[in-house]
Amino acid sequence: MAGWTPAWSCSASPTGARSLRQKSAGFSTVTASGDNRRVAQQQSRRRAPFLGLDSREMILFGLVVALLGSTVGYVLTAWLGSAGVVEGALIAGCAVAVAVFILLLVKPSPMPAKKVSSHASLFFSLYLPAIGLVAIASSSDFARLLPYLFWYYPLLAYSKFNNVGKLGELLERLMIGGPIILLLVYIVAHSEVLEPDLLGIIWAAVVAHTAYIILLDRLASYREALADARARAEEIQRGAETLRQNESRFLKVMHEAGLGLGMIDMDGRVAWANDTVTGWTGQGTIISRPFTEILSDQHRQSWPAQVRLLQGGDIPRIQFEWTVEAQGRRRIIESSFFLARPTGTLPGGIIFISRDITDVRELDAQLRQSQRMDALGRLTGGIAHDFNNLLTVMLGSAEALKHRFGQETEERELAEIIEEAGERGADLVRHLLTFSQKQMLRPQSISAASLVRASILLLKRGLPESIELLTNLDDGDWQILVDPAQFESALLNLTVNARDAMPASGRITITVVALRAKAGESGSVSGDQVVVTVSDTGEGIPPEQLARVFEPFFTTKPAEKGTGLGLSIVYGFVKQSGGDIQIRSKVGEGTDVRMTFPRYCGHI
């Protein structure tokens, strides 16, 4: 017979694995613990394809070689005249087995590959002893037995790496004992013709067989250990990759959470902080820097005492609001600090969670300002109406006195003085009614840019040569619904205020822009807008006064230079026109007053 290609020399490959999946009926996955897990590991180690052949193809290859070798041997034996019927029957059985395996390859069977492998091994473990016994019975020539003995070695290697479980152990014992049994039978059957040299060869074969079994067992153990090590290495690598992915996801969430998150070590330095905190400070990286460097002066002084209270368990957390200025913007930050005690290899520290509440505080301030201005408007409107009733009586009485007394009499002059004072009082009432949004307006659909252009000459007359007036008008010819006279009055008031804020020199800029509505955007003016901004490079307004600038009779000017009604009148006009007004100022840099009007697309 020809030789067998050992299965233990194979190595797994993607092609072989794919062939094994396609041509085999599949393996039963063992997920139990203990022995079952060990069996499953052995299955995964042993069922590796060799030279692109899966188990069925290898078995078929071996059977074909066995059939050809047996057939050639039988033909030679028959030619010599010593062939027997039993040998022919065994060769025929091998031919049947080959035919069956050819059918299995042509039309794959649902039978699991391990059953195919075990049945084929069982066939060989029975076929080889049978044909070996036939050879012993038919001749005392030891050479006729040798091919069947040699077949056991590749068969044993194949079974070692393909058959698992109790059946695999049984087949392994049969294949280990098969050659020994055949040799013992040969010695007993032909003891009378045994020569010392032949007996030495037989015992050498027994020793070689034993050494081969030991070597094969060690090789199998080494291969399994190597497979275990590779499996553990792959598992560790997968775990490390999973850990890296989880860490990457965690850091992404931490950096994009919208909250300021970080940790301070026990030395008071920033151990870690996300991008949100770094963006607030505007100082680049703050890792390893003292946390007190980013705190405001007020909280920097009280921080050590608060930390001691937190570490001592006297307070559950530290919580306060603090301010930070970066990139020209002042932010209000609300922070909570919690103690993180050391656990195992992780050091302790202080964890902080912060959020930017600048917009919240600004909205609160705007709400309070709106409520205060609304209350002042109602109060002012009521007073103006009552005062107007008194003025009506006063003016009517003065008019009657003028008609009663003749020309150029002292009494008539007194009546005219009373009438003039009443008229000034009536003007004051009109201003108050404008602030309270109860003035009678005559709105028109008109372009804000055209209104500004028409007012330029009037505005320039009230400015000294040291103050430059610039315009940037780009409203796309969008229309707004306003009273032109009141709009011009508002521009004049804002320009005069800007002039008074620049006693030496400076620049006033009037800007008109059209803004399209954005999805999800909310505000006091919705939809498309036209924004008119009057900016100056003056002294600016202190923050503590900025919240009161729209209040009636409040002014930052000396008493002889203003009444405090200018911005109040502008505020009332803008609100009554359905718009909104905002003021931003910084001491030493100037002031921006922004009037926002809704775009008007209808007709009067």
Dihedral (Cα; 92, 97, 103, 109), 10-degree rounding: 160
pLDDT at 530: 93
- The pLDDT tens digits of the residues spanning 275-286 come to 888 878 777 778
Q: Does domain 260-356 have CATH number 3.30.450.20?
A: yes
3-class DSSP state of 302: helix
pLDDT at 533: 95
pLDDT at 235: 92
Q: Which helix (H) or strand (E) holds 319?
A: strand 318-326
Check the CA dihedral 489-490-493-499 and report its sign.
negative
Report the alpha-carbon distance of residue 44 to residue 234 in Å, rounded.
14
Specify the DSSP class assigned to residue 354.
E
Write down the pTM of the prediction. Answer: 0.42
What number of CA atoms fall less than 13 Å from residue 141's CA on the CB side?
8
Give the domain ranges of the chain.
7-191, 260-356, 362-435, 444-598
pLDDT at 3 over 60: no
Check the CA dihedral 221-166-31-33 and report its sign.
negative
Q: Quote the mean pLDDT of the chain.
A: 75
Question: How large a percentage of the chain has pLDDT more than 90?
Answer: 9
Report the alpha-carbon distance of residue 402 to residue 391 in Å, rounded.
16
pLDDT at 88: 66
Strand bridging mode 329-340 / 270-273 = unpaired
Strand bridging mode 260-264 / 349-356 = antiparallel
Residue 422 Cα to chain centre, angstroms: 70
In CATH terms, the superfamily for domain 444-598 is Histidine kinase-like ATPase, C-terminal domain (3.30.565.10)
Do domains 260-356 and 444-598 share one topology? The answer is no
Residue 271 one-letter amino acid:
A
The model's confidence at residue 257, banded by pLDDT at 50, 70 and 90, is confident
Q: Which residue has the tokens 């032109």?
A: 484
The model's confidence at residue 49, banded by pLDDT at 50, 70 and 90, is very low
pLDDT at 18 over 70: no
Beta bridge partners of 325: 330
3-class secondary structure per residue, 70-115: HHHHHHHHHHHCCCCHHHHHHHHHHHHHHHHHHHHHHCCCCCCHHH
- For 556, the token pair is 């930052």
Report the alpha-carbon distance of residue 234 to residue 240 in Å, rounded.
10
Number of CB atoms found within 10 A of residue 297's CB:
8
- The pLDDT tens digits of the residues spanning 349-368 come to 898 988 888 888 777 776 66
pLDDT at 528 over 50: yes
- For 92, the token pair is 């025929």
Report the alpha-carbon distance of residue 190 to residue 468 in Å, rounded.
131
pLDDT at 117 over 80: no
Cβ–Cβ under 8 Å, residues 114 and 159: no
pLDDT at 428: 66
